Amino acid sequence: MNREANIINLGKVVSVRGSVVDIQFDENLPPIYSLLHANKGDIVIEVLAQLDVHRVRGIALTPTQGLARGMAVEDTGGPLNAPVGKGILSRMFDVFGNAIDGQAVPVDVQRRSVHRAPPPLARRSTQSEIFETGIKVIDVLVPLERGGKAGLFGGAGVGKTVLLTEMIHNMIGHQEGVSIFCGIGERCREGEELYREMKEAGVLPNMVMIFGQMNEPPGARFRVGHAALTMAEYFRDDEHRDVLLLIDNIFRFIQAGMEVSGLMGQMPSRLGYQPTMGTELSGLEERIANTDTGAITSIQAVYVPADDLTDPAAAHTFSHLSASIVLSRKRASEGLFPSIDPLQSSSKMATPGIVGERHYRLAQEIRRTLAQYEQLKDIIAMLGLEQLSPEDRNVVARARRLERFLTQPFFTTEQFSGLKGKLVSLKDSLDGCERILNDEFKDYPESALYMIGTVDEAKEKVKTAKPDSKDSSEPIAKPAADAEPKAAPEPQQKVEHAADADES
C-alpha cells in the first residue's frame, strides 16, 4: 500500500553493481526496508541504506538482469510482506509469498510485514515442558523444550537433514498445532521430497512450507526466515495454536547476511563474517518464543564449517538455544545413527526439577559411563582390552551396549537401510538404558542391541539368530571380560554396511 493513496513515488537507477543498486529519488526518500519495484515489478529491491537526501542503496531480492542506469523505480510504500491466514495451510511459498506448488493462488490470506519486534517479556510464558520426539538418544540425554529452540549441529553429510526430517515425521502426527518448514539456502530437491512425503503421510493440511533456495540471490535467502516467522506468529498470536517451526539451515541465514554485508561494503569481522551477525541472528531467534497465547517450538539444523564448533556462526547460535544436539562424524563413520555425540550435546531441560529425579539420574549415569569409555579408548588402542581391570572392562561392555542401544532405525531411511523405522516412547527408552546399566544384557552380543526400538527386541533378535548362526554368536555371548576383543570386529563390519546404506 502506498503511503499516500494517489501519489506514486518514482526514482531512477543511478548504478548497478551485481545485487547492489543505488537509486535516486528527487522528492520522497523511502525509509529503510522499503520495497522497490523496477522493470514492471520483475525486479524487487529492498532499501538497506540512505546514502544522502536523494539517494538510497538497496539489495535486489531477485536477479538484476535487464536493470540499467536511468531505469524508473517505483516505491511500493511498504516493506516486504508475507501471506498469513488459514489459506496458507498445505501450501508451498517463496520469500515473496508466491505459491510455488503449481496450484491456484491462495485465497483468504492477509499480508503482514516480515519485520516485526519480538514479543515483550511480560507476554512470555515461564513454564517448562518436555517435547517428546520418539528418538531415544534425544529424549533420554538431550530433552527438547516445548516452546524452546533446539539446534542440530554438524558438518556436511553427518545426517542433520535426515534427523530433522525424522523429527518432522515423528512429531507432526502427534502435534496438535501447525508445522512450518523453512528452507534457507538448501537444495530444491530436499523441498520437493519433503512435500511429497508429507502429502503421502496425510499431514500436509496442517503444514506450510517456505523456501529460499541456494540458487536465489542473498537478499531473498536472508529474508525467508523472517517471512516464515511472520507466518508462525500469526498462528500463535491470532489463532492461539502451538507452532512447530523447522529451519534448515540457520547457517545459510548467517551466510546470506555475510554476502549482503559484503555487497553493501561493510568491513568484515572475524573469519569474514559480517560485523552485525549477532544482532541479525538475535533479531530472528528472539521472535521464536513461548507466550501466554501459544508456543513456537523451533528445531534448527546448523551447518558447522569444517566441523569446527568454535566457528563464530556456530558459537553465536549456541547462545540462543535451549538444547544443542551435536552430530559427530566419528560416530557416523562407525555407523552409529543417529550420530549424536552424547558428551558434547546438552539441554537446559535436563534438570531434576523438569525431567524428574529418575530420568536425571539415569542420564547422568549414561554420560558418566560413556565418558569413562572415551578415556579408556587410548589404553585399549595401545595395550588391548585384556590389560584393563575387570571393573573397567565392565564399564566398556556397558558403554558399547549403550552406544548400540541408542541407535535407531528411521522411517525416513527405510528405503536405504532396509530396516523398518521405530518410534520409542520415553518410558521404554529409560527402561532400556536402566536395564543395560544393571548388566541385564551383559551376556548378549552387542549386535543384538544395534538398530532396535525397545530393549526387549534384543531378546527376540537373539532368539531368531541362534538357530542359524549358533557357532558365530557363541563367542560373543560369553561374559564381556573374555569375549570383547573377538566381538569388536563383527559389529564394526555390520555397522559399516549400515553406514554406507544410510549415507547413500
> Residue 221 corresponds to which cell in the numbers above?
535467502
The single residue of 187, 199, 348, 442 carrying the catalytic annotation is 187
Contacts of 357 (CB under 8 A, 6+ apart): none
SS (H, E, C) 304-355: CHHHCCCCHHHHHHHCCCCEEEEECHHHHHCCCCCCECCCCCEECCCCHHHH
Active-site entry in 136, 160, 236, 400: 160
Distance between CA atoms of residues 207 and 180, nearest Å? 6
How far, in Å, CA of 448 to CA of 339, rounded? 19
Residue 485 has φ and ψ, to the nearest 5°, of: -60, -40
Residue 252 is among the residues annotated as catalytic for this protein: no
Local structure of residue 479 (DSSP, 8 states): -
Q: What is the rounded CA–CA span in Å between residue 92 and residue 104?
A: 11
Which of the residues 186, 259, 280, 403 is marked catalytic? 186
CA distances from 438 to 88, 332, 354, 365 (A): 51, 27, 25, 11
The DSSP bridge pattern shows strands 207-212 and 178-184 to be parallel
Q: Do 284 and 253 touch, CB atoms closer than 8 A?
A: yes
CB 353 within 8 A of CB 134: no
Neighbouring-strand partners of residue 47: 58
Q: Which helix (H) or strand (E) holds 471?
A: helix 470-477
Residue among 270, 195, 255, 266 nearest 225 (CA): 255
Q: How far apart, in whole angstroms, are the C-alpha atoms of residue 189 and residue 185?
A: 12
Q: What number of CA atoms fall less than 13 Å from residue 168's CA on the CB side?
A: 31
Active site residue 111: no
How far apart CA 109 and CA 278 sit, in angstroms, is: 33
Please state whether beta strands 149-154 and 296-303 pair in parallel, antiparallel, or not at all (unpaired).
Answer: parallel
Residue 237's contacts (CB-CB under 8 Å, 6 or more residues apart) are: 291, 293, 294
Q: Is 386 a catalytic residue?
A: no
Q: Do 182 and 210 contact (CB within 8 A), yes or no?
A: yes
Radius of gyration of the chain (CA): 26
Q: Sheet containing 207-212: give its strands across.
A: 92-93, 207-212, 178-184, 243-248, 296-303, 149-154, 323-326, 346-347
> Any residues with CB less than 8 A from the CB of 275 and at least 6 apart, and which?
261, 266, 267, 268, 269
Which residues are known to be catalytic? 160, 186-187
